[in-house]
Amino acid sequence: MYPPILPGKGHRPGEEDVGQEKRLQELSRGYEDLPWLTALVVFSGFLVALVGTFATLFLLGTALTGRTWWPYAVILAALAGTHACLRAVRYGRRRARQSGTGDRRRVMRKRTGTRA
């Protein structure tokens, strides 16, 4: 049984939609080779949102009352820094994989046999 036909552009089950396949491939590009890194980035983003919200509330509360506020600032900095570093690593690996050349420093080290 077919689902009800709604106005607009659509297709029935079994029909191929080349545009949709192309969009899905573009959306998933870069994630299939680094699933663990992507999972770490997503999880760290969740932690930044959840723990960062409470740390921000405690930071504001302690700063306005004149008590010690710096531990909450350190927590926020550590969360944001870790998340930014993970995103940068994922971006660099994805960029190297897309360009096909990889990291120039890594290629030069392999050619010369030196370590950095």
pTM of the model: 0.59
State percent of the chain over pLDDT 90: 41
- The mean pLDDT of 94-116, rounded to a whole number, is 61
Are residues 51 and 78 in contact, defined by beta-carbon separation less than 8 angstroms?
no
pLDDT single digits (tens) 48-75: 999 999 999 999 999 999 999 999 999 9
Mean pLDDT estimate for the chain: 78
Contacts of residue 4, Cβ cutoff 8 Å, sequence gap at least 6: none
Query: How far, in Å, CA of 110 to CA of 107, rounded?
Result: 5
Structure token pair of residue 113:
């046999």
